[in-house]
Amino acid sequence: MIAIVDYGMGNVRSLENAFAYFGHDVCITANENELAQAERIVLPGVGAFGDAMLAIRERNLDKILTHQAMVVRKPILGICLGMQLFAKRSGEHGEHEGLGWIDADIERLQVPRPLKVPHVGWNELHFSSDDWLFKGIRPAEGNFYFVHSFHMVCRNAANVIATTDYGGPVTAVVRSDNLVAAQFHPEKSQDNGLKMLENWVTWSPSC
């Protein structure tokens, strides 16, 4: 069972359809027991960082999810804002504390003209062709769909496993043990996104 976390700020139905495409059982939930019983958890997110963390704390999901991530060490996938919530802090509309799972900060994109913020559209990923997450995806054809104004700045470069170029390198995918997170929307990225999700579902972390 894959649990998609529902805290009121995620594109949960599109994700549900993407996983159902491969025949996986999916539940959309904020229930502690269901999250504990799930084999994997997906944390989506659309909107502002501070609002998302408030919604998560109001549902006690910060403690529930941190237990699953850091104690149980269950495979957890963050998507878009969900990825940013893995960080320690964000400077979006003030200072906000994140879940703190990745040693990173969230900062506003700084891009030269004529590029604009938010970054919206298809961009190519730069990644290692032998990485399990991108198995079956050719680097030259690795386009994914982005919608974001802020990006993750990691203190540990080893956490960054894929970047994209938008006026300079931008963190696109991070990984730390049982945690994986993507700045783009795999569920909106057609065949490449579906393949990445399939690779994640079949992965067993060694931690």
Which of 70, 68, 7, 77 lies closest to 33, judged by CA?
68
Active site residue 80: yes
Structure tokens belonging to residue 196: 């990445």
Catalytic residue among 16, 92, 187, 198: 187
Give the C-alpha separation, 180 to 151, whole Å. 15
Structure tokens belonging to residue 26: 């999916």
Catalytic residue among 96, 119, 151, 185: 185
Active site residue 187: yes
**Bond prior to 112 in cis (omega within 30° of 0):** no
Catalytic residue among 80, 96, 148, 151: 80
**Is beta strand 104-108 parallel, antiparallel or unpaired with respect to 150-154?**
antiparallel
Q: How many C-beta atoms lie closer than 10 Å to residue 16's C-beta? A: 18
Catalytic residues: 80, 185, 187
